[in-house]
Amino acid sequence: MKISLRRPADDRQQVELHFERRLPTFPVRKRRVGPFVFDETTIDGRQPLPAIAERMATLTRGQIDTEVVAPARTFLEMLERLLFEVPGVISLTQLDAYGLSVRIGRCFDPKQVAAEVAAVIAHLLWPDESFELIECEHEPAVDDYCI
């Protein structure tokens, strides 16, 4: 499986990972700023991860192509490992069904952190498959994932 790594030029503390398989769906929270309400899918270690994992399991049911025996427990393990065990990860944001943005601490190597994040996700969701992390300068296109 190929996983595309993109580093936005305007934000050196962020990396985007684009998978060729659908990711679990992050729950959307409403955030109010003055009179405006924004949808937010950012997850960090200050939030109630068990509740988020339960919601992810509900939202993802039937959406991903891998069978997860205990989805809430698997998603909780994924979030805990990403947020508390991978050095440098500050927060995770779902970009779309196949993409994830990772906010990284300033003193960490973005490529190394991205590789560890990709390894955790691939191991938990697709344990029988190996993955290749491909760094690209542009928006990932369909051809980037095709062999």
99-144: pLDDT as tens digits = 999 999 999 999 999 999 999 999 999 988 899 999 886 555 555 5
pLDDT band at 42 (very low <50, low <70, confident <90, very high): confident
Residue 146: the pLDDT is 47
Q: Which residue has the higher pLDDT, 29 or 18?
A: 18
User: Candidates 3.40.50, 3.40.30, 3.30.300, 3.30.1370; correct CATH number of 2-138?
Assistant: 3.30.1370
With cut-offs at 50, 70 and 90, classify the pLDDT of residue 147: very low
pTM of the model: 0.83
- Map residue 103 onto helix, strand or coil: strand
Please, what is the average pLDDT of the chain? 86
